[in-house]
Structure 1
Amino acid sequence: MSTSAKPFPIWGFFLLVTNSILMLAIILLIWRQQKLTTVFATSTPSEAAKLNPQNQAFVPELGPRHKLSYQQWLDILKQEARVAAEKQPRNLTILAGDSLSLWFPPDLLPEDRNWLNQGISGETSDGLLKRLDVFDSTKPEIILVMIGINDLIRGVGDEEILANQKQIIRYLRRTHPDTKIMLQSILPHGAEQSTWEGRDKLLAIPNSRIRKLNQELQTIANQQSIQYLDLYPLFANKEGDMRREFSTDGLHLNPQGYTVWRTVLQIYSNKELASQFQQKQKRPSTDRI
């Protein structure tokens, strides 16, 4: 007696192709940037600037927001969240965090959803925890959380950072029970190659400490049954430091860095789409023949 093989599901083929293309895009992007890094290493600063003017010249376009106080900034985020709560846009995704989220170029965000950016420059985990209620009335499909680097810069201990992260997740799960919460890893910094004005503070934070914190964050995410997005390996070189080709100053990201981040978010989005399609295919039909 012979049995016929089950046909490969359409959703599986879609997921395989999509993930392959997107992962290839990340690999090619990193490979290209590695080639540029090799060129930079054998070039003078002026020659490097000519070879990659975008990396040298990129400055986030914050406009007048960059000069606002924390409270003024918070007031603007409250207004934007209020508009989102009133309009209830479809596929709403919230970016909650610090300047890394804040400076995410709108034209690089995945286009298949509406975005509400709730990032504040210099934000800490304690600060974010205290202002989560700002977007209580919104109905997001996804909330992306990235926070922690400013805690480390300010000398906050690991236990306090992790405790705040736990409270952030618990609050979001309780307030937005139907929302997918995604906790993102803390990114590495550029170490000795950093040019950020607070370089000495970065040098006091070993990237090995960040990796250990990320391991704890992944454990927390698993315990809370939420998605964990480990971005650290994609941004780290073989020494574990931020790839200079993805950063403006060893702390903040340039367009190439945001492109990597965007690609990972797109992979996740396509996985969710394929998963939803799979669930629909598995549902028993209610049609009568």
Structure 2
Amino acid sequence: MKKHSILLALMLVFCLQIRAQNLSEYPNFERYQAKNSELQKLESYPLVVFIGNSITEGWTNQHPDFFTAHNYVGRGISGQTSPQMLLRFRTDVVALKPKVVVINAGTNDIAENTGKYNASYTLGNIQSMAEIAKANGIQVVLSSVLPTGKFPWKEEIKGVSALVDDLNKHIKRYAFENNILYIDYNSLMRDSEGAMRADLSEDGVHPIGKGYDIMENLIQPTLDNILSH
């Protein structure tokens, strides 16, 4: 019986170690570690950090000149959900000392990439990122979740456009109630059914160049106004 108890204890410790290791890897701190370190060593801080998922990552890949020309950086990681962004927010945003952060989160939460979707939990993570930024003197811009009708990798999730609209409603309300700027990409990028316009995406989720053009035309005047003061 004693040996059995010891074996169970050892198994529990091993499992906890595995879980702890997974949790420390969960945010993917390593993704931008080298780039962040380089900026900090040179004291070359960006004016704006865009944090998000593959939509943000694709933006920097497809339209790199938009970022370099304005001294912006993108910190998007494909597949990430709002809790992962929150965990890396200090290293990928605060440590870079930007004047502004643009937060785009929620698509992969709704797609349940890291667990069952809960709108209140997702909103709470977005709120926490905004609060951390404001506490560090960083101006916050919240942006809408982009329109989509379904997820190619999670087609079993139904009513996606309604879930997106509901989350956007809560993000917009939070922004309004807390004097935070809100950018509505969704309205100009959706079709009559709430999915992304076919001319703006190849998979219904990720924008192509024309989609990013719309996003840039929407966000740039707001950033110009913030940075001019």
TM-score by length of 2: 0.78
User: C-alpha separation between the residues in 2 aligned to 1:152 and 1:168?
Assistant: 18
Unaligned runs of at least 5 residues, structure 1: 1-69, 277-289
Instruction: Find out whether 1:116 has 2:77 as its counterpart.
Output: no
Post-superposition shift, 1:116? Answer: 2.0
Q: Deviations over 1:207-243 (max 9, x none)?
A: 1221121111011112332211111101111222110
Q: Deviations over 1:227-275 (max 9, x none)?
A: 11111101111222110110120111111111111111222234446x6
User: C-alpha separation between the residues in 1 aligned to 2:111 and 2:154?
Assistant: 10
1:102 to 47, 57, 67: 57
Aligned position for 1:151: 109
Contact 2:27 2:88 in 1 (8 A): no
Match runs of 1:216-255 below 5 Å = 216-255=170-209
Report the secondary structure of 2:95's partner residue: coil
Q: Deviations over 1:139-179 (max 9, x none)?
A: 212111101111111131111111111111111211x31x2
Post-superposition shift, 1:112? Answer: 4.5
Unaligned runs of at least 5 residues, structure 2: 1-24
Instruction: Find out whether 1:164 has 2:121 as its counterpart.
Output: no
Structure 1 residues 190 and 247 mapped into 2: Cα distance closer, same or farther (>3 Å)?
A: farther
User: C-alpha separation between the residues in 2 aligned to 1:86 and 1:182?
Assistant: 27
In the comparison of the two structures, how many residue pairs are matched?
Answer: 199
Percent identity of equivalent pairs = 22
What amino acid does structure 1 have at the position aligned with 2:126? Q
Match runs of 1:10-159 below 5 Å = 74-89=29-44, 92-104=47-59, 105-107=62-64, 109=66, 112-135=69-92, 136-154=94-112, 155-159=116-120
User: C-alpha separation between the residues in 1 aligned to 2:65 and 2:145?
Assistant: 20
Post-superposition shift, 1:73? Answer: 5.2
User: C-alpha separation between the residues in 2 aligned to 1:71 and 1:190?
Assistant: 28
Report the secondary structure of 1:212's partner residue: helix
Contact 1:84 1:116 in 2 (8 A): no
Report the secondary structure of 1:109's partner residue: helix
Contact 1:143 1:182 in 2 (8 A): yes
2:219 to 265, 274, 279: 265
Report the secondary structure of 1:200's partner residue: coil
Contact 1:108 1:262 in 2 (8 A): no
Structure 1 residues 164 and 90 mapped into 2: Cα distance closer, same or farther (>3 Å)?
A: closer
Post-superposition shift, 1:199? Answer: 4.9
What amino acid does structure 1 have at the position aligned with 2:95? S
Report the secondary structure of 2:51's partner residue: strand
Structure 1 residues 106 and 88 mapped into 2: Cα distance closer, same or farther (>3 Å)?
A: farther
Aligned position for 2:142: 183
Aligned position for 2:14: none
Post-superposition shift, 1:198? Answer: 1.4
Contact 2:50 2:74 in 1 (8 A): yes
